[in-house]
Amino acid sequence: MKKIKQISYFGFADAAVNDPLYKEAFEVAKFLTEKGYVAINGGGPGTMKAVSEGAKAAGGKAIGVTFYPKDITNFEGKDPGNPIDEEIKTNNYLERTLKLLELGDVYVIFRGGTGTISEFGMAWGLARLYFGHHKPLLLYGEFWNNIVKAFVDNMRIRPEELKVYRVVNSPKEAFQAIQSFEQALGGQNHAHDNEKAFQL
């Protein structure tokens, strides 16, 4: 696995500035950016904006992966207040998700809605497919244990699928998990950095 340099963050687009989730995303991104990681998000509002603000507060770089829908009723789009340094425009929602998954070397997934669920599902599925040289998931918040337990109790979850993520509850735990994953996966090739894994 190559050294982890970039983190893709996923979470609730409707989180308001006074929402504890917003502050959580800000603090995590700030802490991890201070450790030298580039912050990547969807360029929208809510936790995406909080991530960029956290990265900028740390003096780091924020990248936004966006698209501009013409006929989607419930999509937040780009937030002009999201202080990204670089914008990568995509053609549709699926391409945007795949680009976020492609660019990140590890994923931090906060509490969110159906969009976050779909992103989590794709990230988890890819990690299982490329197990051993996968991109790890950091599931932020204790509630994730209940969610994963529901999957284990009701779905057909393979043993290796429970080894590709860590549930973390603080910025420090997130950093420690990244270091741990880097050591555990050391020496492996990052196979799904291959662009073919993300082609539509």
Q: What is the pLDDT of residues 103-162, one digit of tens each?
A: 999 999 999 999 999 999 999 999 999 999 999 999 999 999 999 999 999 999 999 999
Q: In this structure, are 87 and 133 located in the same domain? A: no
Q: In this structure, are 136 and 195 located in the same domain? A: yes
Task: Look at residue 187 and tell me if it is in a domain.
Answer: yes
Q: Could you tell me the end-to-end alpha-carbon distance of the chain, in angstroms, rounded to an integer?
A: 24
Q: Which domain covers residue 86, as residue numbers? A: 7-25+34-92
Q: In this structure, are 18 and 83 located in the same domain? A: yes
Q: In this structure, are 11 and 53 located in the same domain? A: yes
* Alpha carbon distance 127, 151 (integer Å): 16
16, 35, 70, 120, 127 from 19: Cα distances, Å: 5, 25, 29, 21, 30
Read off the pLDDT of residues 7-36 as tens digits, 9 standing for 90 and up: 999 999 999 999 999 999 999 999 999 999
Q: What is the CATH number of the domain that holds 11?
A: 3.40.50.450
Q: How many domains does the chain have?
A: 2
pLDDT of residue 188: 52
